[in-house]
Amino acid sequence: MERESFENEVIAEILNREYVCVKVDREERPDVDSVYMSVCQAMNGQGGWPLTIIMTPDCRPFFSGTYFPPRARYGRPGLEELLTAAAGQWKVKKEKLLDQAGQIEKYLKSQERTERQAEPELGAVHQAFRQLADCFDSKNGGFGSAPKFPAPHNLIFLMEYGAREKRPEALAMAEKTLVQMYRGGIFDHIGGGFSRYSTDGQWLVPHFEKMLYDNSLLVMAYIKAYGSTGRKMYGCVAEKILEYVRRELTDSQGGFYCGQDADSDGVEGKYYVFTREEIREVLGEKAGRDFCRQYGITGHGNFEGRSIPNLLENDNYEEICEEPWGNGDHGGNICHGSCDTIGGRENEECRRLYQYRIDRARLHKDDKILVSWNSWMICACAMAGAVLGEEQYVDMAVRADAFIKSHLVKEGRLMVRYRDGDAAGEGKLDDYACYSLALLELYRVTFRVDYLKRAAAWAEIMTEQFFDRERGGFYLYAKDGEQLIVRTKETYDGAMPSGNSVAAQVLYRLTRITGDVIWQKVLEKQFCYLAGAMDGYPSGHSYGLLTMMDVLYPAKELVCTLSSGSDTERRRKLAAQLANLAVTAEGLTVVIKTEENAREMERLIPYTKDYPVPDTGELFYLCVGHECMQPVPQLEQLIEKL
């Protein structure tokens, strides 16, 4: 609509004469998007983007729709006719339109009062698995038909469910999807990273736009798969994603950009596709021929006469991912990214093709830095660093956190976005929930008490400003923020987990780590709200179900007390081992108490007063469910139970 309608001179003249036009960036104002999308769904039975709203000067809508062509065609009204008619009605039948706007507002407010609560139960977890299994594509992986979205949180749920219920078929569904996505064209085999979604059922032809949040959640899914199976390919894919993010989407100060557009020179996918002749010209006859055979580059092409590199017909895809390309040592990584990897080892063919396509065409970069999306990448980097044993990824997470702390906090509150030296927008639920989770993830892999303290502080603001203490659930915008016609709550885990699902995970982790009854009470109310919201369609709330499983299945808590006399290298290795366990072992919470952090730990986590620091060595205290073991001096004595 931007090109064909809003840049149309006739339509622009009508808009400028009759309307006050407001264009909303839904990444910066998710509250506005949510409220008026609910209007569209209520009035039309469905929503979508682009979203078109016509409303009164006091922001009460009386007309809504999605896409409109410039002029009427194929039975669809045109924007020119629509705008002319609405402006005419406003002049002669204003009272009728105002009454219609009032009815819509009244309906939206009544919907909030119909929210139901329910007790969390395993039945919803099992039902979600069955719903995902019923729409699983056993041939190509993924769920449903084209277009196919990665939905990494669904895959993480399946892996967690399979482990807890000992259902290998759940893990198999997730693995099939992860493998096929990597083999397909949705993954950039030259430069790393995933596109948003596949337009076909076999993951070959993507919508070429790359987004930070997709790649963050996909790192988490592949790391989860690597931790669950030990299959090196999954760690390899995660590294390739992270290398892409480091190279293409990382600000010089450590923040992460939103993503890259699909178009180059106005043509979607032009940057990513090749002809067979181009490959041979860049790589030479023999190397080019081998590359084309390996990556499905053909004379007739698979996308508008050109080819998207892919491994769908190559049965050696796993070896290709894992093979140590180039010369030199990578310092212990399990495998190596597509091009210009962190440790110095690189695929010469990919490097040359990568440089060739940069010289041939450029992608527009969305260089906004969003708190919520950055928080997901912080989680992904921290998890990858702990599981792969690579401190460089944890360092990426630490730098991004420092960026948020320095540039996106004003007067003790979070902002939404940063760009060109300017931070703007009042932080929404997703910002507070995701950032709190990111800090908890950093605590989980570093055991630095400051991260836990800051996470609790942001979660307190989140609860104070966004939580509905009467009915449960978190509103999308703060009680002291700009007030819209209604305050909405979102629970559906779409392309990203909802703020309510993430908030539940934050509350759960704070409850398990600190033992504070205040967090427990809010968590219980939040769970009753989520359980009611997911009734009938729990598979649409897979991230919320991850936390529900944490509560419904037996939890494990491990306290390590560490003497100050322990060898520095021994302490470092032990912390790394515990961080790995904290990320990979289902339902495990780990805290480390030392002589140095004892006072702060006892203030934040009062029960640690009962765990004395030994004079020498370490002691490990493990509780599973409601049963606690005698302390042991070696972690290896507990590995089987963990």
- Tell me, what's the pLDDT at 532? 95
Q: What is the pLDDT of residue 50?
A: 85
- DSSP output for 322-348: HS--SSS--TT-SS--SSS-TTS---H
Rounded to the nearest angstrom, the gap between the alpha carbon of residue 571 and the centroid of all alpha carbons in its chain is 32
Please state the length of the chain. 642
pLDDT for res 329: 36
Q: How far apart are CA 513 and CA 640, in angstroms?
A: 22
- Other Cβ atoms less than 10 A from the Cβ of 143: the count is 19
User: Which has the higher per-residue pLDDT, 143 or 105?
Assistant: 143
Each residue of 107-128: pLDDT tens digit?
888 877 667 889 999 999 999 9
Say whether 166 sits in a helix, a strand or coil. coil
The pLDDT of residue 39: 85
More confident residue, 337 or 22: 22
Which residues of the chain does CATH 3.40.30.10 include? 1-113
CA distance 309 to 580: 34
CATH class of the region 1-113:
alpha beta
Please report, as a single letter, which amino acid is at residue 237: V
pLDDT digits (tens, 9 = 90+) for 574-585: 999 999 999 999
- Cβ contacts of 65 within 8 Å, gap of 6 or more: 40, 44, 52, 82
Which residues share a beta bridge with 560? 592, 620
**Domain 554-639, classified CATH 3.40.30, yes or no:** yes
pLDDT(332) > 50: no
Cis ω for the linkage preceding 614 (within 30 of 0): no
The angle at the Cα of 210, spanning 205 to 214, to the nearest 5 degrees, equals 100
Write out the two tokens for 354: 């990568």
Confidence of residue 340 (pLDDT cuts 50, 70, 90): very low
**In this predicted model, what pLDDT tens digit does every residue of 294-329 receive, in sequence order?**
999 999 999 999 999 999 999 999 888 875 433 333
Mean pLDDT of the chain: 91
pLDDT band at 569 (very low <50, low <70, confident <90, very high): confident
Helix axes of 348-360 and 276-283: crossing angle, nearest 10 degrees:
120
**Each residue of 22-43: b (16+ CB within 10 Å) or e?**
eeeeebbbbbbbbbbbbbbeeb
409, pLDDT greater than 90: yes
